[in-house]
Structure 1
């Protein structure tokens, strides 16, 4: 077991930070989480779809997956409301097949509830979470890192893992200011009670396509579903703040989405609180670490949400990082600079190509979903019919996402 001085500073108590800290604690390290917010935010984000590659990591924490309040997904569905090409494009039970064959499938969760579960699990494991600690700088020595916070306090540890998301202060401290890249797409979404039109259908991720527009929706527990509509609009900030009442009412009553079939219009009209946000990613980094500080998750490779892989890729980062700590530092003693260099470099060698490819594919998929013009929309619909026509083509299409890295 490690000496108590093997303190690890984990920056960010969002999705990756608590999970990483639970693993570190179980290996004998002494993790402490530092989070910029004053506590868990109940209205942060909408939902997540936990997928096989992420669940394989979470399953290694005893009892964690069983404690998640979510809804298993059995089907994917693809539908068109385009008047010139309306109808079912494809339906697939691949999520159910994945769960039956691999033990893990897809699970829809409300982000705030899932976050609360992770925070409680970390606290139960005895991991301190220091709320209200916004990182503003750091300095390194041969065998330590000192982090400075906006509130005037400091903390010193053996190494630092930055898990502080798209707006990562850890990343800025390492690599300087960068402008997040607006993808040109904006989403409006919300959470509502599952409407009557969808209650008799199996739990499904539904994709509905229109002219220059796309909507995805899926259940997140036994009574609620989450949805997000994507279209091209002027840049909107990623504040995750609720729209004002007039704006929400106008969206529900006057946008084309409210009249869509296949349950899409029903969820729009059933949602009281709407959130509107721009979709962003950032330039690919050539390295995720400097010295004793390393980034993972959205801090390292933020992505637009069109593959639903943001959180799942963060969990892959966590899984491999913990494996590499075991490999290069099995005693969990304070690692030397050379040991950390080996760990972080090997992490980057595996993870940078994979995450970079998925970030690019997510942006491409978002672009392909909201094409403009009838001819382009019909071509898009035909592509979905072809990709999802049978299990073999689906498996080929998805193999690069669900490849087993654990």
Structure 2
């Protein structure tokens, strides 16, 4: 018996994962991606316990991923009036025992390629070079029209097409994003000695600038610096060589210690992008079409939850689809409306909370003024700087990520 056909718009990170979940549950997903092939966009991702618990439900996937299980947190201050180490903790090495998984740091291009290959190996068709331009729904199906004139029809459509979602525009119209006042420059670099010993994630705080770096494989580290500056374009593409060299020479962090200056000077790829907010949606679906991941709830990167929240979306949506599967294999519009509404009732409040927390954390990290920076530094010392506070840090982490709902026993 042929499973229910599902069109997935977007072949980035969420799309292939969704296709694997749907395939395991007996659906027939097909992915349409607007790019012509897997691209080199982006830098790295921190796959956190709440996301890894879900990925572990796909047989063999986690074991095949190339990445680095983080064992150590380092925090420094580069504020001259309050410089020095804020925390050096091996708490990440204990996360697996506590939560079932630690943090897995991955290079985005490698991770993306592995996901697409896993989907194709599972029998999912991935069609590149197809950009959605319109959707037409009837009582039994959705027909998608692409910019190249091709069309495709399925029982329902899931928009996984990210921050610049064409699916979202087709459902709710074009929106004007609002600039947060923060821009990031990030890169991929050879791992410096200070991070090479233990598998390390490092945060460095300055006056008006924040820097984060994470080892992502045996030889490379991805990093990003955030600062307040005039509006920057929202793109994740690499700078040209001249712009990269100019950044290396002019950035305020080029003279920072603790490996920061070395990471900047040796970067093999640097990108720059502004951070923008989108209006919060009260619903993520219309009829037979639903949004997930960044298409539904785009977030700034400061909490490291963009991909992980997409995985939570996928886990719940596919469970609801399976639980409410019709005997005929074909979903009515009424049944899909109920499934998508139940999905939103659980996911919208949680994602809205985390989007706000990510924005708050970004503002906290990029403080301007010596006294404000000292206050922030003291808070970091209190939360993460002593072993006595490890339990408090774990409790805060557990509450933020809602890990009690995703216990290790459910991971298979």
Task: State the TM-score, normalized to the length of structure 1.
Answer: 0.96
1:288-321 CA deviation, whole Å, 9 max, x = no partner?
0111100000000011100110000000000111
Q: CA offsets per residue over residues 22-47 of structure 1, 9 Å max, x none?
A: 11111111111111111100x21001
Deviation per residue, 1:197-237 (Å, 9 max, x gap): 4323x111100001100000001111100000110111111
Match of 1:44 among 10, 31, 41: 41
* Correspondence for 2:212: 216
Among 174, 178, 200, the alignment partner of 1:204 is: 200
Separation of aligned partners in 2, 1:324 and 1:25 = 15
C-alpha separation between the residues in 2 aligned to 1:365 and 1:159? Answer: 37
2:409 is aligned to none
Provide the residue aligned with 1:29 in structure 2.
Answer: 27
With 205-214 and 379-388 compared, the bigger mean Cα shift is at 379-388
- 1:168 aligns with 165
Corresponding residue for 2:309? Answer: 313
Q: Mark the runs of 5 or more structure 1 residues left unpaired by the alignment.
A: none
Does 2:80 match 1:78?
no
- The answer for the alignment partner of 2:410 in structure 1 is none
In the alignment, which residue of structure 2 is the partner of 1:128? 125
Residue 256 (structure 2) pairs with residue 267 (structure 1): no
Tell whether 2:224 aligns with 1:256: no
CA shift in 2, pair 1:138/1:274, >3 Å: same
Which of residues 282, 285, 290 is equivalent to 1:289?
A: 285
Equivalent residue number for residue 302 of structure 1: 298
- Residue 7 of structure 2 aligns with which residue? 9
SS of the equivalent of 1:188 reads strand
Residue equivalent to 2:400: 401
Equivalent residues of 2:160, 2:292 under 8 A apart:
yes
- Structure 2 unmatched runs, 5+: 407-412
Cα deviation code 1:125-159 (max 9, x no counterpart): 10111111100000111111111110001111100
Contact kept? 1:47, 1:220, Cα under 8 Å: yes
Q: Does the residue aligned with 1:13 lie in a helix, a strand or coil?
A: coil
Check if 1:89 corresponds to 2:108.
no
Are the aligned partners of 1:248 and 1:272 in contact in 2 as well (CA < 8 Å)?
Answer: no
Q: Which whole-Å deviations, capped at 9, do the CAs of 1:60-101 have from their partners, x for residues lacking one? A: 001101111100101222110111111111233232111123
Task: Provide the C-alpha distance between the structure 2 equivalents of 1:54 and 1:217, rounded to a whole number of angstroms.
Answer: 20
- Structure 1 residue ranges, 4+ long, deviating more than 4 angstroms after superposition: none
Query: Any conservation in 2 of the 1:206–1:218 contact (CA below 8 Å)?
Result: yes
Tell me the secondary structure at the aligned position of residue 44 of structure 1: coil
Q: 8 Å contact 1:28–1:332 — kept in the other structure?
A: no
TM-score, length basis structure 2: 0.95
**How big is each residue's C-alpha offset from its partner over 1:311-337, in whole Å with a ceiling of 9 and x where there is no partner?**
000000001111111221175811122
Aligned length: 402
User: How far 1:254 moved relative to its partner?
Assistant: 2.9
Hey, what's the Cα distance between the residues in 2 that align with 1:330 and 1:395?
42
Would the alpha carbon gap of residues 83 and 52 (structure 1) be closer, same or farther in structure 2, given more than 3 Å must change? same
How far is 1:253 from its partner?
Answer: 2.5
1:230 — aligned with what?
Answer: 226
